Amino acid sequence: MKPPVITACIVSKDQPAALRLAVRSTLENAGALKGQVAVRIVLNDSPATVRKAADKWMGALRDGGVDIRWTTTASRDVYVAYNELAQSAGTPWVLLLNDDMVMGPDWAVPLLSIAAPDVWISPVLVEPGVVDVANVNVRQDFGRDVGGFGQEAFNAFVRQHRVNEVVPMGWFQPVLIHREKFLEIGGYPLEAPFPHPNDVALFRSLGQWGIRHVRHYGSWAYHFQRLSQRGETGGAKHGA
């Protein structure tokens, strides 16, 4: 088996079903790079029941030959956790993604085909429209949670619309980045200026580091916008 070339880094909190789908889609939909994607996960302040279930299914993946490792932490800043995950990755390329995202069929090769230290690449991101969908993303509702996700319909949509085209800008996650370059610039800033969240601050600074951020229409992903849904009941309202 060839060694991994990409490490998927995920920070998750109390979303075991969504995390499992995110991991499964990342591994199984890697196309020609299937078997060459490692996974690193932080279970952030998760209860014992979630940790126990995660240990079982992630342990089964590990026993089956998947390079997957996970740690459990007390509550910590999510961007600190992502920086630590990138630090721990043993591959030249890192895929940063949320635990409520699904990687589409054959996502990996298009991104890796143009990857470079100074080029960060996002897939096209599809969202259901829980809140406003950014101009760089596509609004199409394939479900707002794991139980209601239309996997087959989403896969068919991707196969119908994907093309070998690269355009400027993309969403903040998922994004394929060069690990050493990410660490060189300090990773996510941990004291982002108000009112910009850390990911916005990072991506707005890429130009000064000579990094271009693009999106590739040959690679697609889906985002349930879970945090946006939580915002409707008074919690965080950002669309990450």
Q: Which are the contacts of 143, defined by CB distance < 8 A and separation ≥ 6?
A: 128, 149, 150, 224
Structural domain boundaries enclosing 50: 6-231
Residue 31 lies in a domain: yes
Distances from the Cα of 199 to the Cα of 2, 9, 86, 188, 222, angstroms: 32, 15, 15, 7, 19
Q: What is the pLDDT of residues 218-234, one digit of tens each?
A: 999 999 997 644 433 33
Size of the chain in residues? 240
Q: Domain holding 20: CATH number?
A: 3.90.550.10
Residue 194 lies in a domain: yes
pTM of the model: 0.92
Q: Provide the domain count of the chain.
A: 1
What's the pLDDT score for residue 230?
Answer: 40
Residue 141 lies in a domain: yes
Residue 238 lies in a domain: no
Residue 237 lies in a domain: no
Q: CA nearest 21: which of 99, 106, 120, 129?
A: 99
* Cα separation, 122 vs 101, whole angstroms: 13
Taking all residues of the chain, what is their mean pLDDT, rounded to a whole number? 91
Residues 2-13 have a mean pLDDT of 94
Q: Which are the contacts of 207, defined by CB distance < 8 A and separation ≥ 6?
A: none
Residue 210 lies in a domain: yes
Residue 1 lies in a domain: no
Q: What is the pLDDT of residues 34-47, one digit of tens each?
A: 999 999 999 988 88
Residue 56 lies in a domain: yes
What's the pLDDT score for residue 227?
Answer: 64
Q: What is the pLDDT of residues 108-163, one digit of tens each?
A: 999 999 999 999 999 999 999 988 999 999 999 999 999 999 999 999 999 999 99
